[in-house]
A and B are shown apart, each in its own frame.
Chain A
C-alpha cells in the first residue's frame, strides 16, 4: 500500500527535477526530444550480437546526468524498476540460441547469452535516455514538443490527459484499497471477487469523471482542439546540440570505436 503511494509520488519527483536550472534544462524541448530519438534509433538499430559497440553510447546519459545535475542513483533505481520487462524478453535467448560464438578462457559463450546481454544493454541505454529527457524537460513540455513537431493533436492530448489524471486516479485507487484494507481484518491478500468489484468501481468512477471533465471543457468552449500558448525557440545552441550529438551517435553507430581501439592496441604488440 504505502509502496503504491510512494511509487506515484516518485513520478511527481520527475517534474520537480524538470524545474531545475541548467544549460540543458534551458534548451528547447524539441532539441532534446529529437536528440533522444536519434539516440534511441541508433542504439536499437545494431545487430543482435552487438556488445562492445554499444558501450560508448553510455557517454550520452552520463554527460546529461552530470551536466544537468540529476540524481544518478534515483534514475538508476527507476531503470532497474522496469528492467524485469527486458529480462523477460531476453531470458529465453540463451536457451534458443546455443551456437557458440567465442571462448572466454575455457568457458564457451553462446550467441544466446551475447544477444541477451545486448538486449539488456540496449534497454538500459534507451530507458535511461528517455528518463533523462523527462527529468530535464518535464512530461508536459515533451508533449508540447511532440505537438510542435507535428504529432497529431489527439495523440498528444491523450498523453497529456493521461499524465494529468494519473495522479487523481492513483489517489482514488489508493483510497479504495485503504478502505478495503481497514475493513478486511484478515491479512489475506485481496480475493478475486473483491478485486473485480474494486476495479469495476474504479472504472465507473473514471467514466463519471471523464464525463464531468468533458462537461467542464465544453463549458469553456472546447471544440476538439486544445490550444496552448508556448513560445519555443530553436537557436544556435539547440541546433548545435542536435547536430553535435546526432553526429556522434552516427559515428558510433558505423565505427566500432572499442574494437578499433582494441586492434590499434594489439597492433602495437
Chain B
C-alpha cells in the first residue's frame, strides 16, 4: 500500500519568467494522512500541488509518489494514483454531460463500458449528485459543480487526493456538506486552502508555506495557536479558535448594534 505516500525532497522551482515558486521544500506524507497546505497568496501552494502529478517538474529535487519518483516515464501511473481537484470546476468539467465527464477518466483507463458505468454511478452517489448525471455542466450551481468535479476524480479510484481550494466560492451550507463528505474519505489527502477552519476540521497535520519554503510542519491545532507564525505567514487564527465577539476574552467588548426595525409605510 505504499502507493499512498508522498515524499518531496528539496524541491526548487522557478517559473519561466524567473518568479521563484518553490525554494527548497521537503516533506513526507504517509498513508491515510490528511494534510492542509496553507500560506499567503503566491506562497507556492498551487505550484507545489502541480508538482505532485508531474505537471511541473522541479528544477532541483524530486517528488516520489509511493515507490516511484515522478518522471516523464511514469506520468501515467502517477496521474492515476494522484487525483487532482482544481480550484475552478469549470476547468475540470469539459464534457457535454455530467455522466460523460465522470466517465472520461475511467474510459481513458481502458475499462470495459459496463464497469465504467458502474464506477460513474458509484462516484456520483458518493458525492450525492447522481440525479444530475444527464445535465450539462454549465447549468449546475457552484456547489454542484464542485461535487461533480470531485466525482470525476473519485471515479478513477486514486490513492491520493490533491485539492486546490475545495471550499472557495461555496455557500456556507455547501461548504459544510463538502467538509462532511471529505471527512468520510480514506485517501491520503493534501488540501491547499485559505479556509483555516476547514483545515482544522479535516486535517490533523498542516504544512505552512511561506515564500516557497516550508515555514512550519506540525499538528494543525498547535500551529494555528502560534500567533507569531500565523502573522509571519499572512494568516490569521481560524475563527473557531478566536474568541466569540460577544463573550470572548480577547476582543474589547462592544455592545451589539441594536436590531433595526424594518421601516414600514406608516412609520
Residues of A within 8 A of B (CB): 12, 15, 140, 143, 160-161, 163-165, 167-168, 209, 212-213, 215-223, 226-229
- Nearest 6 CB-CB pairings of A with B: A221-B108, A220-B105, A140-B96, A227-B107, A212-B91, A167-B138
**B94-A164 in contact (CB<8A):** yes
In the assembled complex, which residues on chain B have CB atoms less than 8 Å from the CB atom of A15?
A: 136
In the assembled complex, which residues on chain B have CB atoms less than 8 Å from the CB atom of A12?
A: 138-139
In the assembled complex, which residues on chain B have CB atoms less than 8 Å from the CB atom of A216?
A: 84, 86, 91-92, 94
- A216-B86, A216-B92 known; A221+B105 contact, CB < 8 A: yes
Q: 14 A-B residue contacts at CB 8 Å? A: A12-B139, A15-B136, A167-B138, A212-B86, A215-B50, A215-B86, A216-B84, A217-B94, A219-B82, A220-B105, A221-B80, A227-B107, A228-B107, A229-B117
Which residues 66-89 in B have Cβ within 8 Å of A in the complex?
76, 79-80, 82-84, 86, 88
Q: B109: CB under 8 A from chain A?
A: yes
How many Å lie between the Cα of A209 and that of B92 in the bound state? Answer: 10
**A219-B53 in contact (CB<8A):** yes
Q: How many A-B residue pairs have CB under 8 A?
A: 83
- A164-B138, A229-B103 known; A218+B79 contact, CB < 8 A: yes
**Minimum distance in angstroms from B260 CB to a CB of chain A:** 29
Q: B233: CB under 8 A from chain A?
A: no
In the assembled complex, which residues on chain A have CB atoms less than 8 Å from the CB atom of B83?
A: 219
- A218-B55, A228-B103 known; A168+B76 contact, CB < 8 A: no
Other than the known A217-B104, A219-B55, A222-B108, what 16 A-B pairs have Cβ atoms closer than 8 Å? Answer: A163-B96, A164-B96, A167-B138, A168-B138, A217-B94, A219-B79, A219-B83, A220-B108, A221-B79, A227-B107, A228-B96, A228-B100, A229-B99, A229-B103, A229-B107, A229-B113
In the assembled complex, which residues on chain B have CB atoms less than 8 Å from the CB atom of A213?
A: 91-92, 94
How many Å lie between the Cα of A135 and that of B170 in the bound state? Answer: 33
Q: B116: CB under 8 A from chain A?
A: yes
How many Å lie between the Cα of A209 and that of B94 in the bound state? Answer: 11
**A164-B86 in contact (CB<8A):** no
**B94-A161 in contact (CB<8A):** yes
Most central of B99, B105, B108, B137 by chain A CB within 10 Å: B108
**B97-A140 in contact (CB<8A):** yes
Q: B181: CB under 8 A from chain A?
A: no
How many Å lie between the Cα of A215 and that of B103 in the bound state? Answer: 17
Q: Indicate which residue in A212, A220, A229 contacts B116 across the interface (CB closer than 8 Å).
A: A229
- The digit string for B45-62, where 1 denotes a CB below 8 A from any CB of A, is 000001001010000000
How many Å lie between the Cα of A159 and that of B107 in the bound state? Answer: 20
Chain B contact residues: over half helix, strand or loop, or mixed?
helix
- A164-B96, A227-B108, A228-B100 known; A220+B152 contact, CB < 8 A: yes
In the assembled complex, which residues on chain A have CB atoms less than 8 Å from the CB atom of B125?
A: none
On chain B, the number of residues with a Cβ less than 8 Å from chain A's Cβ atoms is 36
Closest to B78 in A: A219
In the assembled complex, which residues on chain A have CB atoms less than 8 Å from the CB atom of B95?
A: 160, 164, 226, 228
In the assembled complex, which residues on chain B have CB atoms less than 8 Å from the CB atom of A209?
A: 90-91
Q: B25: CB under 8 A from chain A?
A: no
How many Å lie between the Cα of A217 and that of B152 in the bound state? Answer: 11
**Minimum distance in angstroms from A148 CB to a CB of chain B:** 14
How many Å lie between the Cα of A164 and that of B92 in the bound state? Answer: 12
How many Å lie between the Cα of A212 and that of B56 in the bound state? Answer: 12
**B55-A215 in contact (CB<8A):** yes
Closest to B88 in A: A212
Q: B156: CB under 8 A from chain A?
A: yes
**A220-B104 in contact (CB<8A):** yes
Closest to B83 in A: A219
How many Å lie between the Cα of A160 and that of B138 in the bound state? Answer: 13
How many Å lie between the Cα of A221 and that of B79 in the bound state? Answer: 7
In the assembled complex, which residues on chain A have CB atoms less than 8 Å from the CB atom of B104?
A: 217, 220, 222, 226-227
**B96-A220 in contact (CB<8A):** no
How many Å lie between the Cα of A217 and that of B53 in the bound state? Answer: 12
In the assembled complex, which residues on chain A have CB atoms less than 8 Å from the CB atom of B156?
A: 220-221
How many Å lie between the Cα of A213 and that of B104 in the bound state? Answer: 13
In the assembled complex, which residues on chain A have CB atoms less than 8 Å from the CB atom of B90?
A: 168, 209
In the assembled complex, which residues on chain A have CB atoms less than 8 Å from the CB atom of B109?
A: 221
How many Å lie between the Cα of A222 and that of B109 in the bound state? Answer: 9
In the assembled complex, which residues on chain A have CB atoms less than 8 Å from the CB atom of B153?
A: 220
Which residues 100-152 in B have Cβ within 8 Å of A in the complex?
100, 103-105, 107-109, 113, 116-117, 136-139, 152
Which residues 139-197 in B have Cβ within 8 Å of A in the complex?
139, 152-153, 156
**Minimum distance in angstroms from B53 CB to a CB of chain A:** 6
**A219-B108 in contact (CB<8A):** no
In the assembled complex, which residues on chain B have CB atoms less than 8 Å from the CB atom of A160?
A: 95-96
How many Å lie between the Cα of A12 and that of B86 in the bound state? Answer: 25
How many Å lie between the Cα of A228 and that of B137 in the bound state? Answer: 16
In the assembled complex, which residues on chain B have CB atoms less than 8 Å from the CB atom of A228?
A: 95-96, 100, 103, 107
